Every structure is written in structure tokens, then in C-alpha cells.
Amino acid sequence: MITAEDVAEAKPMSKYAKEFGVARATIQRWVTVGCKGIQLRAIVLGSRILVKQSDWDNFMTAVNDARLNPDPDARMNPDLEKSDKIDKEVKRTDRERRESVKAARAKINNTNKRKAG
């Protein structure tokens, strides 16, 4: 549960983008998709994305640890949420990527049809 204290302590992602020299889109991707299977915890208030300093530090530590130690069982922060979408980095061919996109679109279409009908 998010408390008023959490919101007061958090900074907008644009502050982190400026401070660390990364694009806001990159931080937004870390929040939504993750990096190396680890998601950046954030507070989303409407269109604003706020990040607590402790969550930023934990994310950076976990990503660096994952980069240095690819074994997920040996990572320092196993309690951090991991993205369901990225379990490991996988190299795919263009054909595999196109087939994956086609399958995802079919799945979305089937879901939309069930909702409509």
C-alpha cells in the first residue's frame, strides 16, 4: 500500500533522468518492462511516475549484480519484483521475432473478441 509518506519521499523520474543522464523513456521502460529481469519499483499517479531513492538504489544494485553475476539464485536482492516478460535475455532471429509478434497480436485479438462477445 502506498502511503502519503512514500509519495512525499519520492521524486519524479525526470529528476533521476537529469541526475544520471538517462532518457525518461528508459526509466519508464525500467518501470514497465524491467532490465535484466528486474523491475524498478515506482509510484504511478496519473501520468506521473515517482520513484523513491531507496527503490532506485535497490534497482541499480540489483541490475549491476545481475550484470556481474548472471546466476539468478546468487543475486543480492531476490525479493525485488521481476518482470514476467523478461526472464532472461534471449537472442532471436528476425523470423522468430516476427512470429512472436504475430502470435501476440492473435492473442490480443482473441481476448478482444471474448470481451466483446
pTM: 0.56
Dump pLDDT digits (tens) for 48-97. 889 999 999 999 998 888 888 766 554 445 444 444 444 445 577 888 88
User: Does any domain span residue 65?
Assistant: yes
In whole angstroms, give the CA distance from residue 32 to residue 49: 11
User: Does any domain span residue 36?
Assistant: yes
Domain range enclosing 55? 4-89
Dump pLDDT digits (tens) for 6-59. 888 899 989 999 998 999 999 999 999 998 888 999 998 888 889 999 999 999
User: Does any domain span residue 108?
Assistant: no
DSSP letters for 47-113: TEEEE-HHHHHHHHHHHHHHHH---GGG-S-TTS---SS-SS-----HHHHHHHHHHHHHHHHHHHH
Q: Could you give the number of structural domains in the chain?
A: 1
